[in-house]
Structure 1
Amino acid sequence: MTRLVLLLCWVATVTAFEPIQQRYHDNVGVPLAEAIRQAELSTDFDGSRIVGGSPAALGDYPYMGGLLMLLDDGRTSIGGSTLISNTKVLTAAHNLFDGFNRAREVTVVLGSVHIFSGGTRITSNVFELHSGFDIRTINNDIAIITISWVNYNNVIRNIALATGSNTYAGSWAWAAGFGKTSDLGSASPDLLHARLQVITNAACRDVFGSLFVIDSTLCVSGANRINTCIGDSGGPLVADNHLIGVTSFSSGRGCEANLPSGFARVSAFNSWIRARM
């Protein structure tokens, strides 16, 4: 009885706030992967947004890694990652396990503005999810993937990690990814980017609640329908040439709802990451 009461209280608390998107691979990653593959094959596709963003040029984000995930059931899903050293990339933990589907192997795509073609492609099955990752609340949504050594060049290079106590609230940052360009629109075959403003965690908690937004969360406003979108999960959020966030969650009402999106705050995980580099 006690467990039932606690569960009901937890559900009531969660439903009092904006829902976040769940079951990533079934609802997002797998169908989006096929849509992007088809878009890359199309000769007349005109993709133009993350949501409210624009296409990125090759070399604009040399640390950006597309992520193709082979799931246990044989399906392919899609996400993003960030190169932090010659042998390590960061991504969201829910990319590797969303509570229902687990990735058994990933392909990191570096040095390309297309995820299904071009660039340097490195396959790995060596990854570690943060031990505190909670799929119910998306807390500690960060993971590290080990890849074979990759040399740096003009279009492939690591990025520095955020450190210290700077919350970046009010700062402008850039997000990049291969996710959808709108809630109902087609997939883009291109790497897209958008400029987003970081907000306080207090403002983000007012939307999603304290179960989902903890000290190690970072949020952007999503105002003016400019935001990360489904499929961008695990990708970078960058300010002052430092990685400050790993794309984690958005509202269950969609990417164009003028609501915040959440990221794993890199400075909060700096020691955990460096211990594995």
Structure 2
Amino acid sequence: MRRPFTRSLTGALALTAAVAVLPLAASGPAAADGVVIGGQTVKVTDSPWAVAVASRDRFGGMRAGQFCGGVVVAPTKVVTAAHCLGRDVLGVPLDEVRDLKVVAGRGELRGTGGREIAVRRTWVNPSYEPLSNSGDLAVLTLSAALPEEYVIRLAPADGGLTDPGTAATVYGWGDTTGGGAYASSLRSAKVRVLSDEACTRAYPGNVDGTYLPATMLCAGDPEGGHDACQGDSGGPLVARGRLIGLVSWGSGCGQAESPGVYTRISALARALEGQL
């Protein structure tokens, strides 16, 4: 089986650091209106837990080096997707990235507000399986603490926040069209959590990927047009003020029959406990 399309940027072209990088994949048309996929610009002050994971050394300075999203879950802890820290994305082994940072409190990546904080330590979920993207979770430990009000609470396993039909919002700085038009301002899009049955029908184990409900959930728009896309990986999926998922993978962007797949936070709560 081919590996599903992750939603990070690739560092393969980052050796020419002043040039914007290309998406890993943008297969098929995307119904989009120019914000995330089918969303809107949001104020970072309203969602301070949404942060950019960045490296100018690998991805250039045009958008502060952003290549993935992240979420503040403790003053010195940010969760992101495990695949964001892999060589396929970074272009080099993680230990060769000299300036891995988190950009917090800055909605406009080309601006100067907020803070850029170096990552002191990384942890990748030992159960992460790169081929399927099961358990797609990593934790970044920051070299300085963020304010407590930046922290978002995790969704409990029994809170009903991942029930089918639940309204949720995905955030990121990624591709806004499915064709490589990357946002410089933080965006959000409204989606709904879909049933495991619907997600399995979309990704039954063919070339588009395999949906594994034990560690994944999916969300989208039955009509298409609202979704995360390349560059959004590791960013938050939020329902009723709680973090329920991290952008992980999908087939294309904004397509009705190919919803976005997210790391299911409640399924990995135990693994996270030892890192927070």
Same fold (TM over 0.5): yes
In 2, distance between residues paired with 1:33 and 1:163? 42
Q: Alignment partner of 2:198: what SS?
A: helix
Counterpart residue type for residue 69 of structure 2: G
Q: Alignment partner of 2:123: what SS?
A: strand
The answer to whether the 8 Å contact 2:103/2:115 transfers is yes
Counterpart residue type for residue 53 of structure 2: L
Q: Cα distance, 1:275 vs. partner?
A: 1.3
Determine the structure 2 residue equivalent to 1:212: 210
Question: Alpha-carbon deviations, 1:111-162, whole Å to 9, x = none?
Answer: 1112343211101141111001111111110000000232427xx6100011
In structure 1, runs of 5+ residues without a counterpart are 1-10, 37-46
Determine the structure 2 residue equivalent to 1:42: none
Determine the structure 2 residue equivalent to 1:257: 255
Question: Which residue of the other structure, out of 108, 116, 134, is the alignment partner of 1:114?
Answer: 108
Deviates more, 1:161-170 or 1:59-68: 161-170
Q: Cα distance, 1:185 vs. partner?
A: 5.5
Determine the structure 2 residue equivalent to 1:44: none
In 1, distance between residues paired with 2:12 and 2:197? 28
Determine the structure 2 residue equivalent to 1:83: 72
The answer to whether the 8 Å contact 1:64/1:80 transfers is yes
Q: Cα distance, 1:62 vs. partner?
A: 1.0
Q: Alignment partner of 1:163: what SS?
A: coil
Change (3 A) 1:34 1:176: farther
TM-score, length of structure 2 as denominator length: 0.79
Matches within 5 A, 1:138-153: 138-152=133-147
Determine the structure 2 residue equivalent to 1:228: 228
Determine the structure 2 residue equivalent to 1:248: 248
Matches within 5 A, 1:177-196: 177-184=172-179, 186-196=181-191
Counterpart residue type for residue 231 of structure 2: G
RMSD: 2.9
Counterpart residue type for residue 88 of structure 1: K
In the alignment of these two chains, the number of paired residues is 246
The answer to whether the 8 Å contact 1:87/1:149 transfers is yes
- Higher share in helix: 1
Q: Do structure 1's residue 20 and structure 2's residue 4 form an aligned pair?
A: yes
Q: Do structure 1's residue 67 and structure 2's residue 53 form an aligned pair?
A: yes
The answer to whether the 8 Å contact 2:169/2:190 transfers is yes
Determine the structure 2 residue equivalent to 1:270: 269
Percent identity, aligned pairs only, is 26
Determine the structure 1 residue equivalent to 2:155: 162
Q: Cα distance, 1:181 vs. partner?
A: 0.5
Task: Please tell me whether Structure 1 or Structure 2 has the larger radius of gyration of its CA atoms.
Answer: 1
Deviates more, 1:206-215 or 1:57-66: 206-215
Q: Cα distance, 1:207 vs. partner?
A: 1.2
In 1, distance between residues paired with 2:7 and 2:232? 15
Q: Cα distance, 1:21 vs. partner?
A: 1.1
Change (3 A) 1:95 1:164: same
In 1, distance between residues paired with 2:255 and 2:17? 20
Change (3 A) 1:239 1:115: same
Q: Cα distance, 1:35 vs. partner?
A: 3.8
Q: Cα distance, 1:34 vs. partner?
A: 4.6
Q: Cα distance, 1:109 vs. partner?
A: 0.6
In 2, distance between residues paired with 1:184 and 1:175? 19
